[in-house]
Structure 1
């Protein structure tokens, strides 16, 4: 008497695995939208209060703030969806179109972020201003390098630069936690606030580099290099 084990038909993936492929994008979107939505609601409330208290003063959110919120939101959503490998395989044309839109949104978010860094300079410490400047410029640089890499068909390099750009983009989300817990321990001095904000970007970049270096393609290239060296 023989026991047989049923296997799924070729080309058919278990529903559990298909569903699991959406956990990472969904989690990234939820994580990234928390500070964006909270900041947008806060600014809308401030703008409405300013309009009520001083009618005729032209209250409202400045255009760079609106551009920053919209650009960051689009980049977080579309950027997170790029992490779904199954969706990329099933919808390659969508991946290309969404990638271009995400690049444009990221550049808008980075450019308006630079404007906001200068606009809030009187209310922030020089170190915090420097961190914001470096984050906005670093995100824009990663986007440009990622775009150039895909134009040259250098897919691993494109992936690496886009992961770094996304890490910059999620900085505000991580800062929600570094500030919430850090202020209780280190206080709310100008130096503490600057370092806690910087820690948010630093943590994300460290995680990004870990993800990049554990990619299967990198392991395959290392094995090929070792084999070639032995030959």
Structure 2
């Protein structure tokens, strides 16, 4: 019953995310989201202070590819050595690498130029969807999924979800604050990553179930 619930939830997340991403890309292509982007940018950049800029640069750093690669290596070691999770390594690597490749494909497909309104850092490449947003959503969602069952109480699980959500939102907000992404780039990144992670978890759960059934069948045949 629990497996079916996980499969349904993963499917719904993936379906909702792909619909959201398609709508966002259509609104961007039709220039129907310009006012939304401008309003959010004005609100976030209106809070600019030297101290907040340093904080946002830090969140941008921890959402960057080099830091995500370092964090991923640490988590792979933790999963393998501490939690003894062999199969979960497949999910984590598949999700993180696949998300990065999907982001590059989508950037090249949409060719959206970065905003030029008020940049606090300089960066090249295309804007939609945000790679930082996809990195953050993928890594922290998969971490939450893998660690969830190892936390014995609701409070601990609630803290895990709250920290993950905060990291995802702040890394995304830092990109808008620093002037290198439109808010719609961030939301599109979340949707794209949601689709990829949902699909990855769905595939992983189906694989685990088939593997368990084959093992159970062999044990029953030898009994």
Q: Please, what TM-score do these two structures have when normalized by structure 2? A: 0.33
Q: Please, what TM-score do these two structures have when normalized by structure 1? A: 0.32
Instruction: Report which of the two structures shows the higher radius of gyration computed on alpha carbons.
Output: 1
